[in-house]
Every structure is written in structure tokens, then in C-alpha cells.
């Protein structure tokens, strides 16, 4: 069975600091991580591989060159193959364009049985790419997966809703988006870290041309939603007591 | 300018940080309080390849990388000195076997030590032989094609939990240091017993104890290194462990304590202000941070010297001396900054204060380090 896991490298929003003077977020120097929900997606794939050594786990990301760290980390967790989609033409893509690119890449891969995505990214928070990708590829999709199993070429999953869950089933190939309740992602194996950075690592770079994607559907100029910078204003706490000064540590 | 880590080393740091937070930190207080050896943590250290870090690939290791070894011990020591002790002391003894063992010995024992969950302990110290290591009285009498070992070892790190022991005994008492031999003794050898397990002030999760040997039969092929070459082997091993064990561990303890002090000073409000606004405490923190920074550079520079194959004995002694003093200084100041809360077991700084002290004593006391350094410069 071939599983493709879609991951995204995002800024660690836990570690974002505030510029005291302007009240806005400081973006520089913020460490990058694999999006948390995507870690659950990867863990789900690796757990299936634990049960059956014939399972092949490929991890794919559309990202700038720096996203390599995310893919190497995935390899160090146990993924078999990493595919890095990187091209100037992808820059500024919104969810439509991103899903278009990923779909083209998946069509190139061809023989996948299961696509697993995280529910949503902590920087965009849209939760759109997974479902869009399923639609572009014509795959049945189950979202908000909190429990899953694969048997007889079908996937069974519990889809979380506010008041409980739906039990759903789909034939393979199918696409799932998963939530953090699904599992606890494993840690990296130090030996796999060295393997991930060695010549033995199965790491590919694909450009727009490699995947044959329609250039009129991708990039900033073709994104229905342009990147909007949301400025976050934090108002410092004001004390009405005469004596207490405002500490810069709070 | 910052210490340049390779991509692999940066990822090792990330992995070690996560391991420390998710596995070590949740049980650190409990293993200290209960004096409980954290077998489940050790199993995970094997499972995720932390123990294999720095060992040859042919025995299941990651390949030679001293910096990575230091990084792992440092990150774990930030949250749990006991676990960092268990890991680093085991690794340094296993490294001895890697460096001095015959092919047969390595084929027989090394893979288990690196990936198989078997710990190894190094037994040199005796009740009458601490700093004066050459004063050991455990004897090894030749008997046919084996030796019979009789004696007592004390303060052995890993006593009772190790599957294999490296035991130093006198094969030629007249020759003193040139009459000592290292023997590989499996834990289940007849006549070998683990005696008292010590109740310590700090690193309580790490098990330290007594070994009792009564005519323990050890085959000749279990001699590690050369006959009568045991003392040289011990000294070579200690050179390495001064950096990878004490250097890395002390650095981690100091960094962990410094961060706790900084976080506490920012949160604790007295006289209407966080205490971090008090210049007196700012000065303490500055002194602590400066020493931690100097220690960091020293440990990593000497680790790089080791990696590059340069001579480093004198530097290793300096690292041991300086880093352990830093750990003690920083934990003491950090506890003071915590005030009354620092004295309470609810707060981790109390444990770190107790843990730090051993770094000035084991792996060669700081007084011995000073003697070694003085000899090298005079």
C-alpha cells in the first residue's frame, strides 16, 4: 500500500513574540516546525507501516527551499520518501493554487492508495487544502478523522463533530484529514536523522514543469485569495492605580 | 558568531529536546523522590537511537559524532541530571570497549550495548581507592586459562542495572599502576554479586552501588585491552568522559537552572514589580549567563578537538573543572533567586541544586583536575 502524507512547514506560533513598540507580531527568527495536525497525519501513516512492512510512506510538501528541514524531519521519523515541490511559480499561492499543485504532483505519483492530510495549518487556519485536493483528484474524503483503520482495500474512520462522531467508510484510494485526537506523533530516531541527510535518503525536488501543472491556476496572480497581512494589535494592560508601573516583562 | 552545527546535529538537538520534554521531564521529580531507576526511559533511549549516537555504524551506531553525543546529554541534563548521568556514563564505558576491545569482544558485546538495551558499568573505585585509584586491592589471580577476581568495588554507577561490567583488578600487585588489568565481567557470572545500593544526595534516579567479587572466574579472552594495561585504559576513558559526561551534563544543568531563574524572576512580583526589575538579581543573572556561555564554548570547542583527532587531555581537565564549578554556581544562585520557593521540593530547582554537586566530584575530583592541569603547564 502506498500512502502519501501532505505536510506544511509553518512558523511555530507558540514562539512568536510581540514588538512592544508597535504591538505587532515579530515574524523574524521564529523557528519553523511541521504543522501539528500534519504530524498526526504522518504518525497515522507510520502506524500503518508498523503493522505492515510493505506499506510505503511518501511525504510531500509545497514549500520554499527551507521546507527541506520539515521533510528531513519526516524521514527521520520513518517516512520512506520525500518529495519537495518548489518553484518560483508557486509563490504566493492560496489554498486553491496549493491544492492544484499538490493534485498535479499526486497525479504524477499515480499509484497511491491513501492520501492523509492534517486538518488545518496553524498559520492559515483555513482547513481547505485537504478537501480541495480530494475534489481535484476525484477522491472520496473523510475529514476530522479521530480514529481510523484500513482493511480489504477500504478505510473506516470516525469523523469528529461537535457532539460526537460519524462512522464512515470509503473505498481506496481515498483522502483523509486528521485531527490531533487521532494519535500521539512519534519522536525522531537519531539513526534515521543521519540516514535522512545521507545519499541513501529518497529525496526528490519537483518543479512546476516536472509535475505538468497548469500555470494559469497557480501562484499569487492566480490565487482568488491574495495573501493578506493581518496586523495584530495588542493593547498593554493599563493599571488605574497611581503607583503601579507597567512592567515590560508581562 | 555561534557554534556551527551541521544539519544533522541541529536535528539531533531538536530530537533530544523533544525527548527531554516528553519523556524525561514528566518523571524527573518522581525518580528523584523514589530513588527509582527509570528503566522505561532507558528503553526509549535505546529505541530512538540516542544510545547509538556516536558509535560505529557496523555495530548499529550513527557514526562518529562527538558533538552529537554532547548535544544529547546536554539537552537531557537540562531537565533531568540523573537520566543524563545514566546515558553518558554508559556511553563512555561502551566507547572504551569500542576503542580497546578485540574484534571478538566487540562482536560479542558491543551491539547489545548500543542497540540491545544492555547497560555497561565501569568499576574502578574502591573504599580505599578513590582519587588514589592505583591503591585498588581487588586481585585477579591467574588460574589456567582464566583469572579469579576477588575484592570489593564501591560507588559503581550502574551497579545492579548493568548487564556487563568492566572491572579493574591487580594482576601484578608489585607493579602498582602498571599491574592493573581491565576485565569484562557479565552480570550473571558466578561469584559476582551486587551489594549495597547507595542513597545519594542527588542524581537519585541513577543507581550507584557496591560490587562484591569472590573468586569470580573470568576467561583470559575477557581481558579488555592489554594485560597490565588497565590503568592506561581507565585514564584514556576518563579523558573522553570529562567532556562528554561531565562537560555536557554540567552545561545542561546550568542552562536548565538559568532558564528557571529567568522565568521565575519575570513572573514573581514583589513590591509591585517583577523581581527581575531588581538590579541585584539582574547582576546575578548576568554572572550566571556569562559563565554558562563560557562553558558552552569550552565544551563544544573541546568536543570538536576530539572529533578532529587533536590532543585534548589538558583541555578536557579544564572543561571538567570549569563546567562543574559553573553548574554548582548557577544552581546555587538560581535557587537563591527563587527565594523560599526554591527550597521547596515542588520546584525543580531544589533537585537541580542537589544534582549539580556530584559534577565536581565524580569522574575525577576537581582537585585532581587541577593537579593534571598544573602538571601540563609546569
The CATH number that applies at residue A110 is 3.40.50.620
Q: Is residue A124 part of a domain?
A: yes
Cα A56 from Cα B144, distance rounded (Å): 57
Complex confidence, ipTM: 0.89
The three three-digit cell numbers of residue A23, written as one number: 504591538
The three three-digit cell numbers of residue B184, written as one number: 569484562
Q: Which residues of B touch A244 (CB under 8 A)?
A: 272
Q: Which position among B74, B325, B350, B363 bears the catalytic label?
A: B363
A190 and B22 within 8 Å at the Cβ level: the answer is no
Cα B67 from Cα B278, distance rounded (Å): 38
Q: Is residue A198 part of a domain?
A: yes
Domains belonging to chain B, first-starting first, are 7-114 (1.10.540.10), 120-228 (2.40.110.10), 232-377 (1.20.140.10)
In this prediction, residues A116-145 reach a mean pLDDT of 94
Q: Which residues contact A6 (CB under 8 A, 6 or more apart)?
A: A38, A41, A60, A61, A102, A115, A116, A117, A118, A129, A130, A133
How far does the CA of residue B35 sit from the closest CA of chain A (Å)?
A: 27
Q: Which residues of B touch A193 (CB under 8 A)?
A: 8, 11-12, 15, 62
Q: Is residue A22 part of a domain?
A: yes
pLDDT at A201 over 60: yes
B62 and A76 within 8 Å at the Cβ level: the answer is no
Number of domains in chain A: 1
Q: Residue A80 carries which DSSP code?
A: S
- Predicted confidence band of residue A250 (pLDDT cuts 50, 70, 90): low
Single pTM value for the model: 0.90
CB pairs under 8 A between A and B: 62
In this prediction, residues A37-56 reach a mean pLDDT of 96
Nearest beta carbon to residue A247 from set B19, B53, B273: B273
B residues 70-89 lying closer than 8 A (beta carbon) to A: 72
E strands, chain B, where?
A: 120-123, 139-143, 146-157, 164-170, 180-186, 192-197, 208-219, 223-224, 269-270, 273-274
- Under DSSP, is residue A35 helix (H, G, I), strand (E, B) or coil? coil
In this prediction, residues A109-135 reach a mean pLDDT of 94
Cα A119 from Cα B172, distance rounded (Å): 70
B62 and A191 within 8 Å at the Cβ level: the answer is yes
Cα B156 from Cα B158, distance rounded (Å): 6
**Which residues of chain A approach chain B closer than 8 Å at the C-beta?**
69, 72-73, 76, 187-194, 196-197, 243-245, 247, 249-250
CB A148 within 8 A of CB A155: yes
Q: Which residues of B touch A188 (CB under 8 A)?
A: 11, 14-15, 18, 48
pLDDT at A192 over 50: yes
Look at the alpha carbons of B186, B190, B191, B196 in this order and tell me if their dihedral is positive or negative. Answer: positive
The three three-digit cell numbers of residue A164, written as one number: 460526537
- Predicted confidence band of residue A92 (pLDDT cuts 50, 70, 90): confident
Closest CA to B317 of B377, B243, B262: B243
- Under DSSP, is residue A105 helix (H, G, I), strand (E, B) or coil? helix
CB A47 within 8 A of CB A101: no
B11 and A250 within 8 Å at the Cβ level: the answer is no
Distances (CA, A) of A109 to A83, A106, A115: 10, 5, 11
A249 and B15 within 8 Å at the Cβ level: the answer is no
pLDDT at A214 over 90: no
pLDDT at A232 over 60: no
- Predicted confidence band of residue A241 (pLDDT cuts 50, 70, 90): very low
Cα B192 from Cα B190, distance rounded (Å): 6
Q: Is residue A60 part of a domain?
A: yes
Residue A238 pLDDT: 63
Q: Is residue A7 part of a domain?
A: yes
DSSP one-letter string for B253-296: HHHHHHHHHHHHHHH-EETTEEGGG-HHHHHHHHHHHHHHHHHH
Residue A207 pLDDT: 94
Q: Which residues of B touch A187 (CB under 8 A)?
A: 15, 18-19, 22, 48
Torsion over CA of A69, A73, A76 and A81, rounded to 10 degrees? -80
B49 and A191 within 8 Å at the Cβ level: the answer is yes
Q: Which residues of A touch B19 (CB under 8 A)?
A: 187
Q: Is residue A240 part of a domain?
A: no
CB B349 within 8 A of CB B261: yes
A194 and B50 within 8 Å at the Cβ level: the answer is no
How far does the CA of residue A33 sit from the closest CA of chain B (Å)?
A: 10
Nearest beta carbon to residue B8 from set A193, A243, A245: A193
- Main-chain dihedrals φ then ψ at residue A149, nearest 5 degrees: -150, 150
H helical segments located in chain A: 36-51, 68-77, 95-109, 129-137, 190-196, 208-211
3-state SS of B144-180? CCEEEEEEEEEEEECCCCCCEEEEEEECCHHHHHHHE
- pLDDT higher for A248 or A34? A34
- Predicted confidence band of residue A235 (pLDDT cuts 50, 70, 90): low
How long a stretch of residues is chain B? Answer: 378
How far does the CA of residue A67 sit from the closest CA of chain B (Å)?
A: 13
Residue A216 pLDDT: 85
Residue A230 pLDDT: 55
Residue A239 pLDDT: 55
Q: Which residues of A touch B53 (CB under 8 A)?
A: 190
> Which pairing describes strands A81-85 and A56-62: parallel, antiparallel, or unpaired?
parallel
Q: Is B18 on the interface with A (CB under 8 A)?
A: yes
pLDDT at A234 over 70: no
The residue ranges of chain B whose pLDDT is under 50 are none
Q: Is B277 on the interface with A (CB under 8 A)?
A: yes
B11 and A73 within 8 Å at the Cβ level: the answer is yes
CB B295 within 8 A of CB B254: yes
CB A232 within 8 A of CB A24: yes
How long a stretch of residues is chain A? Answer: 250
Burial class (CB in 10 A: 0-12, 13-18, 19+), A235: exposed
Q: What kind and span of H or E run contains A177?
A: strand A174-178
Q: Is residue A9 part of a domain?
A: yes
Find cell 585491552 and name the residue: B225
Find cell 590532543 and name the residue: B311
How far does the CA of residue A28 sit from the closest CA of chain B (Å)?
A: 18
The three three-digit cell numbers of residue B241, written as one number: 568522559
Q: Is B7 on the interface with A (CB under 8 A)?
A: yes
Q: Is B64 on the interface with A (CB under 8 A)?
A: no
Cα B375 from Cα B378, distance rounded (Å): 5
If one counts every other C-beta atom within 10 angstroms of the C-beta of residue A140, the result is 15
Distances (CA, A) of A135 to A71, A100, A208, B72: 25, 10, 20, 45
A192 and B50 within 8 Å at the Cβ level: the answer is no
Q: Which residues of A touch B14 (CB under 8 A)?
A: 73, 188
B15 and A188 within 8 Å at the Cβ level: the answer is yes
Mean pLDDT over the full length of chain A: 88
How far does the CA of residue A194 sit from the closest CA of chain B (Å)?
A: 6
Burial class (CB in 10 A: 0-12, 13-18, 19+), B278: middle
By C-alpha distance, the chain B residue nearest A241 is: B272
In this prediction, residues A68-76 reach a mean pLDDT of 96
Q: Is residue A125 part of a domain?
A: yes
Cα B88 from Cα B164, distance rounded (Å): 16
Q: Which residues of A touch B63 (CB under 8 A)?
A: 194
The three three-digit cell numbers of residue A231, written as one number: 496586523
Of the residues B7, B11, B70, B276, the best mutation for testing chain A's interface (the one with the most A CB atoms within 10 Å of its CB) is B11
- Under DSSP, is residue B18 helix (H, G, I), strand (E, B) or coil? helix
Q: Which residues of A touch B270 (CB under 8 A)?
A: none
- Under DSSP, is residue B233 helix (H, G, I), strand (E, B) or coil? helix
Catalytic residue flag (residue B17): no
Q: What kind and span of H or E run contains A206?
A: strand A203-206
Range of the domain at A98: 2-222
Q: Which residues contact B348 (CB under 8 A, 6 or more apart)?
A: B28, B29, B79, B260
Nearest beta carbon to residue B11 from set A72, A244, A245: A72
Amino acid at each position: 500500500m502506498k500512502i502519501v502524507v501532505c505536510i506544511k512547514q509553518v512558523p511555530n506560533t507558540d514562539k512568536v513574540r510581540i514588538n512592544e513598540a508597535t504591538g505587532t507580531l515579530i515574524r523574524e527568527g521564529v523557528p519553523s516546525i511541521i504543522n501539528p495536525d500534519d504530524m498526526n497525519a504522518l504518525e497515522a501513516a507510520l502506524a500503518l507501516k508498523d503493522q505492515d512492512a510493505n506499506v510505503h510512506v511518501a511525504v510531500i510538501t509545497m514549500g520554499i527551499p527551507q521546507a527541506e528541514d520539515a521533510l528531513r524531519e519526516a524521514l527521520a521519523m520513518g517516512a520512506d520518501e520525500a518529495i519537495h515541490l518548489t518553484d518560483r511559480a508557486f509563490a504566493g499561492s492560496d489554498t486553491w493554487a496549493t491544492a492544484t499543485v499538490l493534485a498535479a504532483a499526486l497525479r504524477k505519483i499515480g499509484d497511491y492508495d491513501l492520501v492523509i492530510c492534517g486538518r488545518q495549518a496553524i498559520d492559515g487556519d483555513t482547513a481547505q487544502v485537504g478537501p480541495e485536493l480530494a475534489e481535484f483528484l476525484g477522491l472520496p474524503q473523510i475529514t476530522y478523522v479521530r480514529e481510523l483503520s484500513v482493511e480489504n482495500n477500504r478505510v473506516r474512520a470516525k469523523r469528529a463533530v461537535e457532539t460526537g462522531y460519524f462512522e464512515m467508510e470509503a473505498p481506496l484510494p481515498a483522502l483523509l484529514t486528521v485531527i490531533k485526537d487521532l494519535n500521539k506523533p512519534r519522536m525522531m530516531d537519531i539513526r534515521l536523522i543521519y540516514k535522512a541527510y545521507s545519499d541513501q535518503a529518497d529525496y526528490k525536488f519537483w518543479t512546476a514543469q516536472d509535475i505538468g501543472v497548469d500555470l494559469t491556476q497557480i501562484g499569487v496572480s492566480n490565487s482568488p485569495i491574495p495573501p493578506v497581512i493581518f496586523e495584530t494589535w495588542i493593547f498593554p494592560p493599563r493599571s488605574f492605580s497611581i503607583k503601579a508601573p507597567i512592567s515590560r516583562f508581562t | 558568531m555561534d557554534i556551527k552545527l551541521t544539519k544533522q546535529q541541529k536535528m539531533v538537538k531538536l530530537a533530544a529536546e523533544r525527548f527531554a520534554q516528553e519523556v524525561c521531564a514528566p518523571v524527573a521529580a518522581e525518580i528523584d523522590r523514589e530513588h527509582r531507576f527509570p528503566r522505561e526511559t532507558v528503553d526509549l533511549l535505546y529505541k530512538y537511537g540516542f544510545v547509538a549516537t556516536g558509535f560505529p555504524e557496523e555495530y548499529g551506531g550513527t557514526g562518529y559524532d562527538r558533538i552529537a553525543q554532547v548535544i544529547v546529554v546536554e539537552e537531557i541534563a537540562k531537565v533531568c541530571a540523573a537520566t543524563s548521568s545514566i546515558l553518558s556514563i554508559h556511553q563512555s564505558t561502551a566507547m572504551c570497549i569500542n576503542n580497546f576491545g578485540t574484534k571478538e569482544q566487540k562482536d560479542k558485546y558491543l551491539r547489545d550495548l548500543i542497540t540491545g538495551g544492555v547497560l555497561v558499568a565501569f568499576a574502578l573505585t574502591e573504599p580505599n581507592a578513590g582519587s588514589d585509584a592505583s591503591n585498588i586491592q581487588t586481585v585477579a589471580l591467574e588460574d589456567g586459562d582464566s583469572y579469579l577476581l576477588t575484592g570489593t568495588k564501591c560507588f559503581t554507577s550502574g551497579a545492579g542495572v548493568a548487564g556487563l561490567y568492566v572491572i579493574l583488578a591487580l594482576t601484578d600487585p608489585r607493579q602498582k599502576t602498571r599491574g592493573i588489568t581491565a576485565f569484562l565481567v557479565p552480570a550473571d557470572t558466578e561469584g559476582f554479586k551486587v551489594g549495597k545500593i547507595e542513597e545519594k544526595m542527588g542524581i537519585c534516579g541513577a543507581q550507584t552501588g557496591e560490587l562484591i567479587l569472590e573468586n569470580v572466574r573470568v576467561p583470559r579472552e575477557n581481558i579488555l585491552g592489554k594485560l597490565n594495561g588497565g590503568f592506561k585504559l581507565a585514564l584514556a576513558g576518563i579523558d573522553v568522559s570529562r567532556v562528554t559526561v561531565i562537560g555536557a551534563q554540567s552545561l545542561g544543568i546550568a542552562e536548565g537552572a538559568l532558564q528557571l531563574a529567568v522565568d521565575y524572576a519575570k513572573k514573581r512580583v514583589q513590591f509591585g514589580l517583577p523581581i527581575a526589575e531588581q538590579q541585584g538579581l539582574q547582576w546575578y543573572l548576568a554572572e550566571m549567563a556569562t559563565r554558562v556561555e563560557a562553558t558552552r564554548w569550552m565544551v563544544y570547542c573541546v568536543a570538536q578537538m576530539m572529533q578532529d583527532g587533536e590532543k585534548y587531555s589538558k583541555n578536557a581537565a579544564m572543561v571538567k573543572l570549569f563546567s562543574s564549578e559553573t553548574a554548582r554556581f548557577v544552581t546555587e544562585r538560581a535557587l537563591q533567586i527563587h527565594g523560599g520557593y526554591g527550597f521547596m521540593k515542588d520546584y525543580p530547582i531544589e533537585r537541580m541544586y542537589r544534582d549539580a554537586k556530584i559534577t565536581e566530584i565524580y569522574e575525577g575530583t576537581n582537585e585532581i583536575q587541577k593537579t593534571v592541569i598544573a602538571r601540563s603547564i609546569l
